[in-house]
Amino acid sequence: MPNSSRRRPTIRDVAKHAGVSKSLVSLVLSDPSKVSSMRRSLVEDSIRELGYQPNLAARSLSAENRHAIGVVLGELHNPWVLSVAEVVREQLQAAGLDVLFSAAAIHDGQGVGPAELQTLRDLRVSGILVVGSADDAVSFEAALGETPAVFVGGGSQAQSGTGAVSVNDEQGFGMVVDHLVDCGNARITHIAGGAGPVSATREAAYHRAMLRHGLRQHVQVVEAGPTIQAGHEAVARLLASGARPESLACFNDLSAIGALQALDEAGVSAAVTGYDNISLSSLGRISLTSIGSDSEDLGRSSVRLLLQLMRNPEGKFARQLMIPPRLIVRSSSQLHR
């Protein structure tokens, strides 16, 4: 019968109830195959009757947690991260692994840094997945030690013992500019994403695409950030200066939604594109042209790569995977001229 006391049952309570030692209970929790079926049943029955719940963090500090993967989520403001994380969770659990989620605090566009990885490493997880931006300005080797890690969609380059899976942003942002030019736009303004490697990659791709089309004289970059508020404020400032943009190629969908709001408030029309193809982009009132990537492909590829690194850290296989982008055209970029 469950323990009615307010105090949570401890491992000592389980041992006393089962009539065994505390160390035997620990062994049943950490490696049940090493305990006879009769004694294991005694312990498991006591765990159920008392309602005992193991403290995963405490257990992992005393012995390596060989069945858990740490997943760090950066950019929690971006629904794209959560879509990929859900695929990652399903794939890891299908492989018989537990998942420990950790949310990273991202400031001023900087990505996940060593601190978040060190926390999971201290829990002695078997591997780490980072979904969202990672800060390429730092080395993760000291934080990771020998723990294999894969960075998903964040612009990070594979280092020793790590892998990276990302969308080909060079190709993707080039597709955005190509589309806007095909729609008759020449004055294409880039609403930038702030600091960080992904923002830098997309801005550089914008510059190269504009030069490829012979539009050097129309290059314009407006500093913003990766959020709806940042996109709104940046475009509001641009309009307040007297500028009337012909088209806006925004860093991501969130900043593009903010840009659309600022244009609507000012009664100004301009072609607008986003990037990431989050679920909000397909809503009829928004109908945002965007660059999409397959969340299933990103999630599956990252888990597959991490399992390869865990099994064979020195194996000869690709550590840097690029997922091809696709252009999804909606009404936000289709203005009648």
Structural domains in the chain, CATH included, are 11-54 (no CATH), 68-167+294-324 (3.40.50.2300), 169-293+327-333 (3.40.50.2300)
pLDDT at residue 112 tops 70:
no
Question: Cα separation of 18 and 317, whole Å?
Answer: 49
> Is the distance from CB of 126 to CB of 66 less than 8 angstroms?
yes
Question: Cα separation of 64 and 290, whole Å?
Answer: 43
Single-letter amino acid, residue 20: V
Question: Cα separation of 267 and 271, whole Å?
Answer: 13
In Å, what is the CA distance from 137 to each residue of 114, 157, 196, 237?
11, 11, 9, 30
- Residue-level pLDDT at 146: 81
3-state SS class at 301: helix
> Is the distance from CB of 128 to CB of 152 less than 8 angstroms?
no
Question: Cα separation of 162 and 141, whole Å?
Answer: 9
Neighbours of 306 (CB within 10 A): 27
Question: Cα separation of 158 and 320, whole Å?
Answer: 6
- Residue-level pLDDT at 244: 94
pLDDT at residue 1 tops 50:
no
Q: How, if at all, do strands 290-292 and 326-328 pair?
A: antiparallel
Single-letter amino acid, residue 64: E
Question: What residues does 144 pair with on adjacent strands?
Answer: none
> Which DSSP letter does residue 252 get?
S
For the chain, give the percent of residues with pLDDT over 90.
Answer: 50
The region of weakest confidence among 181-185, 220-224, 315-319 is 315-319
pLDDT in tens, 27-74: 888 778 788 888 889 998 998 898 887 655 455 444 455 578 989 888
Helix axes 37-50, 11-18, angle to 10 degrees: 120
Question: Cα separation of 80 and 184, whole Å?
Answer: 30
The region of weakest confidence among 15-19, 153-157, 187-191, 195-199 is 153-157
> Is the distance from CB of 306 to CB of 282 less than 8 angstroms?
no
Residue 31 exposed, middle or buried by CB count within 10 Å (0-12, 13-18, 19+)? exposed
> Which DSSP letter does residue 218 get?
G
Question: Cα separation of 295 and 325, whole Å?
Answer: 11
Residue 54 in tokens: 């193991």
pLDDT in tens, 154-178: 666 656 678 899 899 999 999 999 9
> Is the distance from CB of 42 to CB of 19 less than 8 angstroms?
yes
- Triad 262, 288, 242: Cα angle to 5°: 30
First CA to last CA across the chain, in angstroms? Answer: 75
Question: Cα separation of 54 and 61, whole Å?
Answer: 13
> Is the distance from CB of 250 to CB of 191 less than 8 angstroms?
yes
The pTM for the full model equals 0.75
Residues 229-257 have a mean pLDDT of 97
Report which of residues 116 and 10 the model is more confident about: 10
